[in-house]
């Protein structure tokens, strides 16, 4: 199975900050990498697909980059509604695997 490792596991930030979350795959996955946001008590929501494409309706302050094994999710000008847990997920092969999550908390 492909292992997905996110860092950091958690971070504290203030509204207006720029936040960067990284995701590393245990083998190359091309750009078959997706990012999801999960607010407390809610279902996950797709943010970014194919490493860098923004899902419809997602604010442009979210962006993704990377290919191969190393990927990044960036949130510019953090908003109160962005405090949540973020997961990366590979779709290179089955079983589909997720990173362990990065919790973005209010400083």
Partner 1 sequence: EVQLLESGGALVQPGGSLTLSCAASGFRFSSYAMNWVRQAPGKGLEWVFGISRGGGNTYYAGSVKGRFSISRDNSNNTLYLRMNSLRVEDTAVYYCVKENEEYISSGNWFDSWGQGTLVTVAS
C-alpha 100/C-alpha 14 separation (Å) is 23
| Of 15 and 50, CB closest to partner 1 | 50
Question: Coil, strand or helix: which one is 21?
Answer: strand
How far apart are the C-alpha atoms of 84 and 100, rounded to whole Å?
14
Binding string, residues 10-49; x marks residues near partner 1 by CB under 8 A: --------------------x-x-x-x-x---xxxxx--x
- Binding segment for partner 1 (CB under 8 A), chosen from 16-24, 63-71, 76-84, 91-99, is 91-99
Residue 103: name the closest of 19, 4, 1, 2 by CA.
Answer: 19
Per CB under 8 A, residues contacting partner 1 are: 1, 30, 32, 34, 36, 38, 42-46, 49-50, 55, 87, 89, 91-101
């Amino acid at each position: 199975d492909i292992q997905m490792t996110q860092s950091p596991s958690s971070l504290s930030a203030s509204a207006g900050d720029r936040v960067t979350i990284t995701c590393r795959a245990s083998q190359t996955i091309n750009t078959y990498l997706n990012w999801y946001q999960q607010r407390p008590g809610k279902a996950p929501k797709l943010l970014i697909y194919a490493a860098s494409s923004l899902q419809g309706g997602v604010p442009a302050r979210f962006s993704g980059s990377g290919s191969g094994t190393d990927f990044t999710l960036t949130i510019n000008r953090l908003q109160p509604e962005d405090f949540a847990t973020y997961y990366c997920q590979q779709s290179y092969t089955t079983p589909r695997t997720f990173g362990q999550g990065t919790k973005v908390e209010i400083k």
